[in-house]
Structure formats: structure tokens, C-alpha cells
A and B are shown apart, each in its own frame.
Chain A
Amino acid sequence: MTNDQCSIEFKHVTKKFGAATVLDDVNFGIKKDKITTVLGFSGAGKTTLMKHILGLTMPTSGDVVVLGTAINHIGELELREFRRNFGMVFQYAALFDFLTSFENVAFPLREFTKMSEEQITDKVMGLLVSVGISKEAAYRLPSELSGGMRKRVGLARGLALDPHIMLYDEPTSGLDPITTHMVYDLMRETHYNNVHNGFTSVIISHDIHATLKYSDEIVFMENGHVVEHLDVESFKKSENPVIRRFLEL
């Protein structure tokens, strides 16, 4: 795989916390335009992997290259600028609880752009409508929204700055099966609406059924290693016993 095809590359990344090795010589790339899910059991190193992509954690050795920049070699201020390339949906949405849905989505626009309030209102309402949030719900606080609605507002907030890479950390955790599929449909729709810009979606999950249905590629992790990195069809046919066990769940 050439560098041009990947928006994220892990180059022999090892991460140690004291004596514990959380990532062990991880070496792979996440392709542009694809929905890639990082799958694995709890404690496999998925969240640490995602924190490396965001530059929230630095590798003990190796390089993390995102959109052609080795983010473990840039300064803190530059890294903060760089993070605007990312949109992120957190496990429990992580909406600011002192702001309404509208204000949550407007937050990054007010912080980082010089858009007028009128332009911000147009953009925010457009984003909220695109994720299925009504005008009435837009002016509610996160505590007044259901889990699924919070995730959708979180998605709208993540998309506000037109990111190149969208990250989802356990996006459907705590949701019922129907809402889970609604959220995944929305994520897929979001991805393919933006894909012409080289948009990349990375999902951290252990929901095997949704992953098989909605992903293009799967990275399977176990004990800090990448065990397999395959497209969905090849993944289904994998003979790896750990993956077989996962698939049979």
C-alpha cells in the first residue's frame, strides 16, 4: 500500500505504560475513502490506538503518520491546529452539558472560524437536520435528549469543521438495536456524502454484527498486536482462531 492511499499510518508503533506494553510493534495503514473498524476484545489496545491517531498519547517508539504528518514529531501548538482535521464521536457523545444541542454544534465554528452568527446558524441547523435532529430538539440541553439523539448531535458537532478524518469511539454503546442501526446508517451516509474529499472513517468497536454490515475494512487487535487487517469479505473467511471465536459470538 502506498502512502498516498493511506490517511493514517502506524509505523512500528510500540507504546508502553510502565512495564505494560499496550501496543506492540503495530504496523499498518488506514485507507482513505474507507470505513475502517478497529475490532477487538476489551483491553486489546483499541482506545490507545485511537489516542495515538489523535496525538493525545505519544508512542514509546515508532511513528504515527496522519495525512502525511508524523504527529509525534510536531510541537503541542501545531498538534492542536492539526487536530482540526479530525471529527470525533465519543462513546457517550461527550456533549457539553452546559450548552444546548445547537450551541454544542456551533461551538467549534465559533472557536475556529470567522463565520457570522447568521452563517453559523445556517450551518448548524443544516447539520442538525442532516442527522435527524428537529429544530425544537436543537434548543434542548443534552440532559433532555435520548442516548441516540445525543450521538447524532455528537456526530453533527464532529462534522462542523468539515474534517478529513472522522473517528467514532464505541458509537453505539448503550443503544438499543434499532437505534444502533440508525446511528450506523447515519455514519455510513455521512461517510459516503463526504467521500469525494478523501474522507476517512475510523470506528472503534466490539460490535461484530454492525461492523460486518457497515465497514469496508476491519483491523482486528489482540493484546496490543494487529492480528488481521482485511476487507469485510476476507475477514468473514479468516481462519484465525481468535477471529473465528469473535465471529461465532
Chain B
Amino acid sequence: MKQMVEKRIEILGTTVLDLLLGLGGFTNYTMKTIFWTFKPPYRWKLLFDQIYFIGNKSIFIIFLTSSFTGAVFAFQIYVGMKVINADSFIGPIVTIALAKELAPVLTGLVVAGRCGAAMAAQIGSMKVTEQIDALEVMGINSYQYLAVPRILGATLSLPLLSGIFLLIGYGGAWLIGTQVIQIDDAIFSSKISDFMDLGMVAEGLIKAAVFGYLIGIIGTFHGFSVTGGAEGVGKGTNLAVVWGMITVLVVDFFLTSFLTKIL
């Protein structure tokens, strides 16, 4: 019995210690990336390459996700609202939900899956093949060269993608609302301007920027943390996606609480 208790305490101690070490490593990494963000040289080409990769190359999947999300959400709201004869509110409800929650969160989840994984895999495979050592030996800071453009690229791209998500999602909802459910186009649109304001759009865009930063920092951190060979790269990639998605969902809750008070 005593042995079992000791074993449990040991496991608990090891887990807490690992957690604290991980947290310490992540905090240290975050501070370093912040430091190197403001140090010259500023590599604009690498930043634009990342914006192109994270932003432009994600447009198709964002288009697909947003159009169906808007359309399905409009249908679901219609089913509920029809009961109380308030189906003309589909437009504002869908648009507000898209602007404040669905666009930034779903964009965050899609980008965490697509780009967070790519960041971890690219940096991780560079690490196991000594390419990062090669950068360091040349006197180039690998955080500045590899992490900073990816983090900034994600921070700048996510609000743009979230904006696109909102517009296309609205389009999907409009199509279902006006063409399938047969709500008058003028009613569908005018209700939106009655209930929505710019603060709601700003809330979504701010959230998206924060998610972009977090996805970038988590993806690159797990890339730099890779050890071993191909298995290590796979593990790092997996962790980047899982933690990226969890972080988006958890941080969304706290951001919502904070932003609804100030906006």
C-alpha cells in the first residue's frame, strides 16, 4: 500500500515537473521570438512568402468551410425560428455568429490543422537534418529566420482569412435564406444592419489575429522541439495541431469574455 502511494506521488511529481519544464521552455521560446522580431535584419521576403503560404494557399479550404457553414447555419436557424415565426431574423443571427465566433474560430481551427502542422513539420525536419545547425553556424539566428516570419505571417493572415470567411459565409447564408427559404432579400439584409455594428466585426478580427499568433508560436515551438528522426517530426506535427486547436478553443472563451466588455 505504502509503495503504491509512493509510486503515485512519484508519477504526480514527474508529471508536474514535466509540465513546468514544458511551460518554462515555451515561455523562454516566446520571449526569444519576441526579442528577435524587433532585431534587424527584417526579412520581408520571408514574411511575404509566409503570408502567401498561410493566407493565399488557405483560401480554397476557407471558401469551402465558410460557404457550407453559412448555408448549414442558415438552415438550422430557420428550423428553430420558424416555430416562433421569426425566420426573418436568420440574416442577423447568422451574420453576428459568423462575425463574432464562427469566422475566427473555424478559420483558426482550419489554419491550425493546415499551417500549424506544416510549420512544425518543416522546422522539425530541418532540425533533424542539421539544417538549423547550418543556419546557426553561419551566424543566422534560426528563431529569427524560421520562426518570426511564420508567426508574423500567421498573425497577419488570420484576420484576412477570417474576413473572407465572414463574407463567403454570409454569401452561403444569403443563398439559402433568399433562394431556398424564400426570405425577401431586402428583409434579410436590412435586419443585419439593424443588429450588427463594427465592434462585432472588430471582435472577430482581433480574435483571429490572436489565434494566428498562437498557432504560429505553437507550430514553430513544436518544430524546434523535435528530437530524433522521422518519428520525432511526426510527433511534433501532431502536437502542433492538437495544441493549436485546443488553444484556439480555450483562448476564444477568455477573449470573448474580455472583448465583449471593451467593444
Q: Which residues of A contact B (CB under 8 A)?
A: 54, 56, 80-84, 86, 88, 90-92, 94-97, 107-108, 111-112
Q: Are A94 and B130 in contact (CB under 8 A)?
A: yes
Q: Are A88 and B131 in contact (CB under 8 A)?
A: no
Contact of A94 among B131, B139, B140 (CB under 8 A): B131
Q: Kindly list chain A residues whose C-beta atoms are within 8 Å of the C-beta of B136.
A: 56, 83
Q: A88-B137, A94-B134 are in contact. List 13 more A-B contacts (CB 8 A).
A: A81-B139, A83-B137, A84-B138, A84-B139, A90-B134, A91-B130, A94-B130, A94-B133, A95-B134, A96-B126, A97-B126, A97-B129, A97-B131
The verdict on B76 contacting chain A, using a C-beta distance below 8 Å, is: no
Q: List 27 contacting pairs A-B, 8 Å CB cutoff, sorted by A.
A: A56-B136, A56-B137, A80-B139, A80-B140, A80-B141, A83-B137, A83-B138, A84-B138, A84-B139, A88-B134, A88-B137, A90-B133, A90-B134, A91-B130, A94-B129, A94-B131, A94-B133, A95-B131, A96-B126, A96-B131, A96-B134, A97-B125, A107-B138, A108-B138, A111-B140, A112-B138, A112-B139
Contact of B139 among A83, A90, A96 (CB under 8 A): A83
A248, B59: Cα distance in complex, Å = 64
Q: Are A86 and B137 in contact (CB under 8 A)?
A: yes
Which 6 pairs of residues, A with B, have the shortest CB-CB distance?
Answer: A94-B130, A80-B139, A83-B139, A94-B134, A88-B137, A90-B130
Tell me, rounded to whole Å, the shortest Cβ–Cβ distance linking B13 to chain A: 18
A139, B137: Cα distance in complex, Å = 24
Interface size of B as a range: 10 to 19
Q: Kindly list chain A residues whose C-beta atoms are within 8 Å of the C-beta of B134.
A: 88, 90, 94-96
Tell me, rounded to whole Å, the shortest Cβ–Cβ distance linking B226 to chain A: 15
Q: Kindly list chain B residues whose C-beta atoms are within 8 Å of the C-beta of A54.
A: 137
Tell me, rounded to whole Å, the shortest Cβ–Cβ distance linking A91 to chain B: 7
A162, B139: Cα distance in complex, Å = 14
Q: Kindly list chain A residues whose C-beta atoms are within 8 Å of the C-beta of B133.
A: 56, 90, 94
Per-residue CB contact flags for chain B residues 111-148 toward chain A (1 = under 8 Å, else 0) read 00000000000000110011101101111110000000
A84, B138: Cα distance in complex, Å = 6
A91, B136: Cα distance in complex, Å = 16
A83, B136: Cα distance in complex, Å = 8
Q: Kindly list chain B residues whose C-beta atoms are within 8 Å of the C-beta of A86.
A: 137
A161, B242: Cα distance in complex, Å = 42
Tell me, rounded to whole Å, the shortest Cβ–Cβ distance linking B163 to chain A: 30
A108, B137: Cα distance in complex, Å = 11
Q: Kindly list chain A residues whose C-beta atoms are within 8 Å of the C-beta of B129.
A: 92, 94, 97
Q: Kindly list chain B residues whose C-beta atoms are within 8 Å of the C-beta of A84.
A: 138-139
Nearest residue, chain B, Cβ from A167: B137
A54, B137: Cα distance in complex, Å = 7
A245, B182: Cα distance in complex, Å = 90
Nearest residue, chain B, Cβ from A79: B139
Q: Kindly list chain B residues whose C-beta atoms are within 8 Å of the C-beta of A81.
A: 139
A103, B197: Cα distance in complex, Å = 50
Q: Kindly list chain A residues whose C-beta atoms are within 8 Å of the C-beta of B126.
A: 96-97
Q: Kindly list chain B residues whose C-beta atoms are within 8 Å of the C-beta of A108.
A: 138
Q: Kindly list chain B residues whose C-beta atoms are within 8 Å of the C-beta of A92.
A: 129-130
Q: Kindly list chain B residues whose C-beta atoms are within 8 Å of the C-beta of A80.
A: 139-141
A44, B139: Cα distance in complex, Å = 27
A95, B131: Cα distance in complex, Å = 6
Nearest residue, chain A, Cβ from B130: A94
A80, B145: Cα distance in complex, Å = 13
A91, B128: Cα distance in complex, Å = 12
Nearest residue, chain A, Cβ from B125: A97
Q: Kindly list chain A residues whose C-beta atoms are within 8 Å of the C-beta of B131.
A: 94-97
Q: Kindly list chain A residues whose C-beta atoms are within 8 Å of the C-beta of B141.
A: 80
Nearest residue, chain B, Cβ from A161: B138
Tell me, rounded to whole Å, the shortest Cβ–Cβ distance linking B159 to chain A: 27
A87, B137: Cα distance in complex, Å = 8
A92, B229: Cα distance in complex, Å = 14
Nearest residue, chain B, Cβ from A80: B139
A112, B139: Cα distance in complex, Å = 9
Tell me, rounded to whole Å, the shortest Cβ–Cβ distance linking B231 to chain A: 18
Q: Kindly list chain A residues whose C-beta atoms are within 8 Å of the C-beta of B125.
A: 97
A90, B133: Cα distance in complex, Å = 9
Tell me, rounded to whole Å, the shortest Cβ–Cβ distance linking B106 to chain A: 30
A238, B138: Cα distance in complex, Å = 37
Tell me, rounded to whole Å, the shortest Cβ–Cβ distance linking B121 to chain A: 12
Tell me, rounded to whole Å, the shortest Cβ–Cβ distance linking B88 to chain A: 53
Tell me, rounded to whole Å, the shortest Cβ–Cβ distance linking B21 to chain A: 14
Nearest residue, chain B, Cβ from A88: B137
A13, B234: Cα distance in complex, Å = 38
